[in-house]
Amino acid sequence: MRFLKAPTLFLVILSLTLCSATNKGGYWPSWAQDYFPPANIETTFFTHVYYAFLSPNQDTFQFEIDDTTASALNSFTTTLHQKNPPVKTLFSIGGGSFGTQIFSYMASSPDSRGSFINSTIQVAREFGFDGVDLDWEYPQTQTEMDNFGLLLDEWRVAVNEEAQSTGNSKLLLSAATYYKPVIPWDVVHTYPVESINNNLDWINAMCYDYHGSWDVTATGYLAALYDPNGDVSTSDGLQSWINAGIQREKLVMGLPLYGRTWTLQDPTVDGIGAPAVGLGPGNDGAMLYSEVLEFNAQNNAKVVFDEPTVSYYSVVGTSWIGYDDVESVKLKIEFAQSLSIGGYFFWTVVGDQEWRISQLGTHSILSFCTLLRRHGLMKT
């Protein structure tokens, strides 16, 4: 038996952790069709792309797809499957503006859950999707969390049975979740981690929006890796999921491609937590990452990388923007890799500027995988 030398063994181990297991996702919002169609997505930087969003009927919990939407869905899957390289496609259900009530009703009984589940499978197969993503923001009580778990149990059974009966590959199942497994609002309630482990392929933990338009009295970091003064951070959120027992490969870290904005009370007091009097530039206090860079350049903004939180902010007069940039995202991806979790995703792919952030994790991973192939240590 020939033993591998230490450097070779090290490369093989890294190949398993970096080249095979990393989920690199991106959400594509359907309202971007006119200015950023799916054909514009550079699939080199992603493994999975999500169509956001579809919503079920509030009475039947089934999906009613009109001709315009059907055309968009077909175009989405066909375009991304034919790209080089191709990516897996999922359609995401709900979203932040959809609310919780319909999901709560749907998940509350076996009949309504079954109606919803069967319709998701039908839509996925009809339009050529590889899977389905549930974006329920968020279950409001422990009863809703328990019903969420029942939904996942039954969904997995239905997906397995459909694949077995048709010979098709199993549909992927994922869910967008709160950044922690415990939601502390009103009555504390906890995600059904055991059901997630048993039934989902992964969760997309939304590790952003720690501060925003709902709190206009002070500036705040959007998606800090660390919180020097508390536990509202990506590092705490991911570790909380791991401590709760989630399988690491099923935990995917969210990254924002946008910024949150405030108007400072005093332009000379401009750090994180500075007094503010309202929202800043952008749409309802939000700007795409590409818009942030443009705003900074046009206005000669003061740009600050805040090392304690691993986040950025920029200041122009009384305008204050909190966001992520290249260095903070690099450090977050390295942190995720150090935890051996499943990967990362972006909200949304349309926010980047010339893929300067989307490419970060992929370039290091691709270059490393290329090195392995050159040395004959990894199959193509």
- Residue 179, number of CB atoms within 10 A of its CB: 22
Q: Which residue has the tokens 């999901």?
A: 103
Q: Which residue type is seen at 311?
A: S
Task: Report the catalytic residues.
Answer: 137
Task: In whole angstroms, give the CA distance from residue 258 to residue 245.
Answer: 31
Report in angstroms the alpha-carbon separations of 301 from 9, 222, 304: 48, 18, 10
The whole-angstrom separation of Cα 107 and Cα 326 is 40
Cα separation, 173 vs 50, whole angstroms: 12
The beta strand positions in 243-363, using DSSP E, are 251-256, 258-264, 276-279, 286-288, 302-306, 311-316, 319-323, 343-347
Distance CA(93)–CA(116), nearest Å, equals 11
Q: Could you report how far apart the first and last alpha carbons of the chain are, in Å?
A: 25
Q: What count of Cα atoms within 13 Å lies in the side-chain half-sphere of residue 371?
A: 15
Beta carbons of 41 and 49 less than 8 angstroms apart:
yes
- Give me the residue label for tokens 């990393």: 22
Distance between CA atoms of residues 93 and 112, nearest Å: 16
CA angle 67, 68, 69 (to 5 degrees): 95
For residue 285, the SS3 value is: coil
**For residues 269 and 327, what is the distance between their CA atoms, to the nearest angstrom?**
24
